[in-house]
């Protein structure tokens, strides 16, 4: 699903990239997208192929570290799907190896390129809400039975909703607000048949400001995906997955409708004025996951910064680790950037 929805459409249309091959253990599904590409049956075939400059790893979480490490040692640039690694220690090791071999290492935090997040980011950049006092990000679903991706439903290191959807929300919070002073986490298994955590709520503390991150798989009706409150106003926005929806329908990113949310999904901006509170809708920014690969090309060929730096990706894993510690110990965890 990751390869088909989140990577292949953008690689297929981007003239800066040529897909040399795809790893498929037993099937040949990639032929529909890349009929001239090789089909590898083992990762070792990729690492041994001198034609390959870049390896994109979108395998189960537990394999990210091993595959990324071997790819770097084979002299390849590397994209790793989120979550970057299971532990921050693994992340630091990969960052060190990438620096040693002089290769670009980045993580596919594609939700930075969603319409909803880009709109929220613009609102904050325009400083229209005054001093932010509280923000809430939610990524809720209704799925009582275990999903089809069994590797996500089995207990073990790196599984569970906090590593899955939590990676997106944590990354977005860090992009907007930076490293927090402390956090408090509540993590639980809510579904009767679930064997991994499927609910979490994190409170990230920035002085007096609070950023709440929430996700559950037991939400028939969902609350807004984004809520920002400031001294001069508020912005409320539904969460949307328009690019994922369009790709699932078979549309390609060159379609004029790509990344454009319907007007019904527009956010509501409320501003305090001398005449009272003025409310107006805000047309969403256009989403484009393909921008990630444009930025990656610039990083590889022109020496520009990676679209997501290893240190940014490691910070997401560090927050996840501290969240589990907070949940175990039932207390606020103070954070230091260097810890």
The more confident residue out of 153 and 101 is 101
Confidence of residue 140 (pLDDT cuts 50, 70, 90): very high
Report the chain's mean pLDDT, rounded to a whole number.
Answer: 95
Q: What is the mean pLDDT of residues 37-55?
A: 97
Confidence of residue 250 (pLDDT cuts 50, 70, 90): confident
Element (H, E) at 52: none
pLDDT in the model for residue 339:
63
Specify the pTM: 0.95
Q: Could you tell me how far CA 304 lies from the centroid of its own chain?
A: 21
State yes or no: pLDDT of 170 exceeds 90.
yes
Poorest-confidence range of 94-103, 137-146, 171-180?
137-146
Q: How far, in Å, are 118, 136, 169, 212, 237 from residue 129 at the CA level?
A: 16, 15, 21, 18, 14
Dihedral sign of CA atoms 23, 25, 30, 36 in order: positive
Q: What is the mean pLDDT of residues 137-155?
A: 83
pLDDT in the model for residue 338:
60
The residues, any chain, with a CB within 8 Å of residue 248's CB and separated by 6 or more, are: 5
State yes or no: pLDDT of 149 exceeds 90.
no
State yes or no: pLDDT of 336 exceeds 90.
no
Question: What whole-number distance in Å separates Cα of residue 104 and Cα of residue 165?
Answer: 25
Phi, then psi, of 126 in degrees rounded to 5? -80, -10
pLDDT in the model for residue 238:
93
Poorest-confidence range of 47-56, 153-162, 316-325?
153-162
In this predicted model, what pLDDT tens digit does every residue of 205-236 receive, in sequence order?
A: 999 999 999 999 999 999 999 999 999 999 99
State yes or no: pLDDT of 151 exceeds 90.
no
Q: Name the token pair of 259.
A: 């990344």
pLDDT in the model for residue 117:
97
Domains (ranges, CATH) in the chain? 2-110+292-309 (3.40.50.720), 111-289+318-334 (3.30.360.10)
Q: What is the mean pLDDT of residues 243-264?
A: 91
CA atoms within 13 A of residue 304's CA, in its CB half-sphere: 13
State yes or no: pLDDT of 1 exceeds 90.
no
Question: What whole-number distance in Å separates Cα of residue 212 and Cα of residue 135?
Answer: 6
59 within 8 A of 79, measured Cβ to Cβ? no
State yes or no: pLDDT of 95 exceeds 90.
yes
């Amino acid at each position: 699903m990751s390869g088909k929805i989140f990577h292949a459409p953008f690689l297929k249309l981007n003239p800066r990239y040529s897909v040399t091959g795809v790893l498929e253990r037993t099937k040949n599904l990639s032929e529909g997208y890349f009929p001239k590409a090789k089909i590898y049956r083992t990762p070792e075939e990729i690492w041994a192929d001198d034609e390959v400059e870049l390896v994109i790893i979108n395998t189960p979480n537990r394999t990210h570290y091993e595959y990324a490490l071997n790819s770097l040692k084979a002299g390849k640039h590397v994209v790793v799907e989120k979550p970057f690694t299971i532990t921050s220690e693994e992340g630091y090791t990969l960052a060190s190896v990438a620096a040693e071999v002089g290769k670009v290492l980045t993580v596919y935090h594609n939700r930075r390129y969603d319409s909803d997040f880009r709109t929220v980011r613009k609102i904050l950049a325009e400083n229209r809400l005054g001093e932010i006092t509280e923000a809430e990000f939610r990524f809720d679903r209704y799925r009582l039975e275990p999903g089809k991706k069994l590797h996500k439903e089995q207990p073990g290191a790196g599984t569970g909703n906090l590593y899955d959807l939590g990676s997106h929300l944590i990354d977005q919070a860090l992009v907007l607000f930076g490293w927090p002073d402390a956090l408090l986490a509540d993590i639980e298994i809510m579904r009767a048949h679930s064997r991994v955590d499927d609910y979490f709520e994190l409170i990230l503390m920035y002085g007096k400001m609070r950023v709440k991150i929430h996700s559950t798989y037991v939400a028939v009706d969902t609350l807004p995906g984004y809520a920002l409150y400031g001294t001069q106003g508020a912005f409320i926005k539904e969460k949307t997955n328009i690019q994922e929806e369009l790709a699932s329908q078979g549309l390609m990113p060159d379609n004029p409708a790509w990344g454009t949310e319907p007007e019904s999904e527009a956010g509501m901006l409320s501003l305090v004025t001398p005449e009272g509170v003025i409310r107006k809708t805000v047309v969403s920014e256009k989403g484009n996951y393909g921008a990630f690969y444009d930025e990656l090309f610039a990083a590889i060929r022109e020496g520009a910064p990676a679209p997501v730096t290893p240190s940014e990706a490691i910070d997401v894993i560090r927050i996840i680790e501290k969240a589990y510690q907070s949940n175990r110990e039932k207390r606020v965890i103070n954070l230091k950037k260097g810890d």
